[in-house]
Amino acid sequence: MEFLKTVYQEIIGFFSFHGLLEIVKSGDYGRMLTLDGIRATLAPFIPVLLVIEIIRSLFYRKLTFSEYKVSFFTYVLNRFVSRFISIAAVAFCIGLFEPIALFKTEFTWYWFIYGYVIWEFAHFVYHYLGHKVRLFWCLHSTHHAPEYMNLSVTYAHFFLEAPYADVIRTSICILMGVNPPLLFLIMFVDGFWGSFIHIGEDVLKDGRLGPLNRIILTPSHHRVHHARNPLYMDTNFCNLLNIWDKVFGTFQPEREDVKIEYGITRPMKKNSFLDAYFGEIYCLAKDVYYAPGLKNKLLYLIMPPGWSHTGEHKTAKVVREEYLKQRGVSPAGEQQAVPATETLAASHEGVASVADASSGDGVVTQPDTIQGNMA
């Protein structure tokens, strides 16, 4: 009975039914109009949508377990570790920085708008560093490893990524005056939308969402972020508002003539959980070990993926610029047609490996990194 009770609790926990069940048991449905009630009502949406996605794939005989394998095992591994560290990290940052915040905000609609703009900036910073600092890329690359897109990818994260992300985002927001209750509401909205934009093409073929594609970041934009195509590398770092991507020049809409290829460009052992979870750490450790001198060893930790002490850099920026240059296209004019079949492998022959581009994008690792030999 204890086993069945544990299974029941895990199922309820995965679907986030706790809050909704409490409202049903109390019979006070008016609570659903409160902030906590709205959270409790919306929380199960993404997990339920994931189940619908799987059932639909079964119905059309398109379900491949391998597409959910890495995400599933990552979720199980992170289930009892990551969230507790993340909660502690958020609480620590609030306690540390709230007394020295630049000013104080209130729980109002206009401060919510301000807070969300600041949150998106903080998210951009965390996400950008996750692609541009190799040590952080090791934490982020697990999310980019799947060679497909569906809602299960939402759960594919290295267990230390959430704490690292929350430290950066919480610190910036609190210092900029976003009060904790407002921050928690923003986190909820961001988490909901951040999960939804991973919806698969089997459920939502066109992820542009009509006119919303011009206003916010849609599933289409995030699919671009998860692509390993040179044109798409290291773009669309924001989550809901595209303000900061446009400010910093990392905004990239989906092109119909450039078919998205998901995953990281480093050769991987197909559908290997261990390679997806630990592969980039192994590659980094190997590069650091063989690097000459302490300075180069340290630089491998903080420079972008693809940086080399030999000067033969194969970072996402280098690969993307060479790709555009070979076609006579400048970054400002990159909307010109590019053959859809030409991906990184075709456009950059001789590059041994590249560590992913989207959510952990465009990282070119060194020729001595693993070649799919992880378990």
Could you read off the pLDDT of 136-159 as tens digits, one per residue? Answer: 999 999 999 999 898 889 989 998
Q: Which string of DSSP letters, residue by residue, matches 282-298? A: HHHHHHHHHSSHHHHHH
Give the pLDDT band of residue 103 (cuts 50, 70, 90): very high
Q: Which range is least confidently modeled, 69-78, 129-138, 238-247, 313-322?
A: 69-78
For residue 138, tell me if it sits in a domain. Answer: yes
Task: Give 182-205 pLDDT, tens digit per residue.
Answer: 999 999 999 999 999 999 988 899
Which one is predicted more confidently, 73 or 106? 106
Cβ–Cβ contacts within 10 Å for residue 10, how many?
Answer: 12
pTM: 0.77
Give the pLDDT band of residue 317 (cuts 50, 70, 90): very high
Those residues with Cβ within 8 angstroms of residue 10's Cβ, 6 or more apart along the chain or in another chain: none
d(CA 160, CA 163): 6
Q: Which domain holds residue 174?
A: 74-375
Q: Which range is least confidently modeled, 47-56, 107-116, 224-233?
A: 47-56
For residue 185, tell me if it sits in a domain. Answer: yes
For residue 28, tell me if it sits in a domain. Answer: no
For residue 19, tell me if it sits in a domain. Answer: no
End-to-end CA distance of the chain: 36
For residue 30, tell me if it sits in a domain. Answer: no
Buried b (16+ CB within 10 A) or exposed e, 158-191: bbbbbbbbbbbbbbbbbbbbbbbebbebbbebbe
d(CA 62, CA 59): 8
pLDDT at 125: 98
For residue 20, tell me if it sits in a domain. Answer: no
Which one is predicted more confidently, 373 or 54? 54
d(CA 304, CA 51): 37
> What is the DSSP code (8-state) at residue 357?
E
Phi and psi dihedrals of 250, rounded to 5?
Answer: -110, 10
Phi and psi dihedrals of 48, rounded to 5?
Answer: -65, -40
Contact 51, 11 (CB under 8 A): no
Residue 103, helix vs strand vs coil:
coil
- pLDDT surpasses 90 at 111: yes
pLDDT at 77: 65
pLDDT at 370: 32
- pLDDT surpasses 80 at 81: no
- pLDDT surpasses 50 at 335: no
Rounded to whole angstroms, what are the CA distances from 316 to 168, 174, 320, 327? Answer: 23, 32, 6, 17
What's the distance, CA 99 to chain centroid?
A: 31
Q: Which residue has the tokens 């909660």?
A: 87
pLDDT at 309: 95
For residue 133, tell me if it sits in a domain. Answer: yes
pLDDT at 64: 63
Count of the separate structural domains present in the chain: 1
Q: Which range is least confidently modeled, 116-125, 231-240, 271-280, 319-328?
A: 319-328
pLDDT at 65: 57
For residue 244, tell me if it sits in a domain. Answer: yes
Contact 216, 176 (CB under 8 A): no
